[in-house]
Amino acid sequence: MRALLVLTVAGGSVAHATLTPLVTIAGVPPDIPLIIVVLLALRRGPEFGSLTGFVSGLLQDAAGGGLIGVQALTKAVIGFAIGVAGGRLRVSQPLVQVPGLVVLTIAEGLARFALLQVFRFPAPFGELMTYVVLPQALCNGFVGAAFVLALTWTQTMRDHFEGSRP
Amino acid sequence: MKIRKVVLLGSLVAACLLLLTLQTRGYGWVAGDFFAVVTTPIQTGLAKASRATFGLWTTYLDWKNVRAENRRLREEVQELRVRALRVSETDDENRRLRRLLAMQENLPLTTLSGEIIAREWGGWIRSLTVNRGRGDNVPRLTAVISPNGLIGRVVDVRPGVSIVQVLTDPTSTVGAHVLRTRTPGIVEGDPRGTLRFKFMARDGASIQSGDTLVTAGQGGLFPRGIPIGTVRAIDNRGAALFHYAEITPAVDYARLDEVLLVTGDSQRDLTAFFPTGG
């Protein structure tokens, strides 16, 4: 199980840069590693969330060719925060998941922008939000909801088969 | 427990900030190179795999499209072939009817056009059924012709149809002469479905293969000068009174579709109105 998790997080993060152009929705690529970090943090808590976020962000940075550490930092913080907040929220509702992921993506975008500003990132905030962060936030919301539904369905099926065993 | 979590997060953040600082101070290549060792082979492999997968998928889609297009084109070709056949058939019919009409207008005879609706080709009887009958005032023994020559005569008139005895019928006889030599004789049908010309030996000494035979016009049944056929071979019977010539009919009776029934009488020689080759 752990090996599968490591493979999912590490492989997924590296694969993101390679395979993202193939999985765009209306030209907008979802941030699948972020979705995975959020889902894992919700299930396993802040420590796991922050570690997962750090590793996936680091690999995403390295694979994507940007400043190494930016996404590692933002995703680690997001993973930690959602891991802490997860116990207090009713996150199994799709109505919570979609806006939740939208808000988290925006938060991650804001954090990334703030961090990059420290390192003299030149892109203007308004355009970045309008053309990059907000469309990706919406995309993440829907893809994340689909992920959760798929996971719930898998879990239900597994429980059903385990329950029917003698 | 809580402290441990905060320490962990703090360490991660610190590590990130350290990495970022190092990079902005010009040591970015160290971290970049380190991660490249890990990520590059994975990325290369994934890119190859995705390209292969999507290539396969694209090939499958192309194949599917080609197959569908192939089926559509085959159907289209079939449809066009049928249409071309219809056009060809209509064109052919048009040409035949034009010829028949031109002939009907040119001939100094009263004629009635008719369509063949049945054929009796057994050998005992060789006849055609034409869609003109008692209602069209078709008299019995009416001569039946086509633009190429004589077909036969009406032997039975019924309501709506007439039965035409074809020249190749074994009981059919027509008075004829050779156009070039004026040698008289009788054209008879035989059970094999062929025609033969019976003539007196002394009159037909100079008949040659390829000579055209036309109706003699004696007896008033058939107008004079309608082509019957051409001499294919001569059966010389030595000292016998009559000799025979095998005739190739001027008309292909099996492939006829439209005919003209000669309802009026004509004393004129009609040779000039038919293609006799002479």
**What pLDDT, on the 0 to 100 scale, is given for residue A22?**
66
**What pLDDT, on the 0 to 100 scale, is given for residue B101?**
87
Tell me the Cα Rg of chain A. 16
**What pLDDT, on the 0 to 100 scale, is given for residue A14?**
62
Superfamily assignment of B111-273 in CATH? Rod shape-determining protein MreC, domain 2 (2.40.10.350)
Residue B60 has pLDDT above 80, yes or no: yes
> Is the CB of B24 inside 8 Å of chain A's CB atoms?
yes
> A58 near A69, Cβ under 8 Å?
yes
Cβ A68–B23 below 8 Å, yes or no? yes
pTM tops 0.80:
no
Q: What is the biggest distance separating any 2 CA atoms in chain B, rounded to whole angstroms?
A: 142
**What pLDDT, on the 0 to 100 scale, is given for residue B23?**
79
Residue B44 is inside which H or E element, if any? helix B28-106
Q: Categorise residue B222: left if φ over 0, alpha if ψ from -120 to 50, beta otherwise.
A: beta
Tokens of B64: 């599917």
**What pLDDT, on the 0 to 100 scale, is given for residue A6?**
64
Distance CA A124, CA B264 (A): 105
**What pLDDT, on the 0 to 100 scale, is given for residue B71?**
94
Size of interface A-B (CB pairs under 8 A): 89
Q: What is the ipTM of this complex?
A: 0.74
Highest mean pLDDT among B11-20, B22-31, B45-54: B11-20
User: How far apart are the CA of A164 and the nearest CA of chain B, in angstroms?
Assistant: 37
Chain B partners within 8 Å of A61 (Cβ): 35
> B216 near B179, Cβ under 8 Å?
no
Residue B278 has pLDDT above 60, yes or no: no
Distance CA A28, CA A127 (A): 15
Distance CA B152, CA B169 (A): 9
Sites in chain A below the pLDDT cut of 50: none
Q: Closest Cα partner for B9 from A82, A77, A36, A55?
A: A77
**What pLDDT, on the 0 to 100 scale, is given for residue B143?**
92
Q: Please name the residues in contact with A112: beta carbons below 8 A apart, sequence gap of 6 or more.
A: A70, A71, A74
Look up residue B158 and give its amino acid: R
> A74 near A116, Cβ under 8 Å?
no
> Is the CB of B13 inside 8 Å of chain A's CB atoms?
yes
**What pLDDT, on the 0 to 100 scale, is given for residue A3?**
64
Find where tokens 């829907």 sit: A142
User: How far apart are the CA of A75 and the nearest CA of chain B, in angstroms?
Assistant: 10
Q: Identify which of B23, B43, B54 has the shortest CB distance to residue A14.
A: B43
DSSP B187-256: EEE-TTS-EEEEEETTT-TT--TT-EEEE--TTSSS-TT-EEEEEEEEE--TT-SEEEEEEEESS-GGG-
Chain A contact probe: residue of B4, B8, B9 with most A CBs at under 10 A:
B9
Q: Output the CA torsion sign for B55, B57, B63, B68.
A: negative
> pLDDT of B184-241, one tens digit each?
999 998 877 889 999 877 766 688 899 999 999 887 788 889 999 999 998 877 777 8
Distance CA B227, CA B270 (A): 9
Distance CA A116, CA A130 (A): 17
**What pLDDT, on the 0 to 100 scale, is given for residue A100?**
79
Q: Which residue has the higher pLDDT, A118 or B73?
A: B73
**Range scoring the smallest mean pLDDT among A86-95, B48-57, B136-145, B170-179:** A86-95
Task: For B89-118, give one letter per residue: b (16+ CB within 10 A) or e.
Answer: eeeeeeeeeeebeebeeebebebbbbebee
Cβ A70–B20 below 8 Å, yes or no? yes
Rounded to the nearest integer, the mean pLDDT of chain B is 85
Question: Mind listing the domains of chain A with CATH numbers?
Answer: 2-23+30-161 (1.10.1760)
**What pLDDT, on the 0 to 100 scale, is given for residue A11?**
64
> Is the CB of B35 inside 8 Å of chain A's CB atoms?
yes
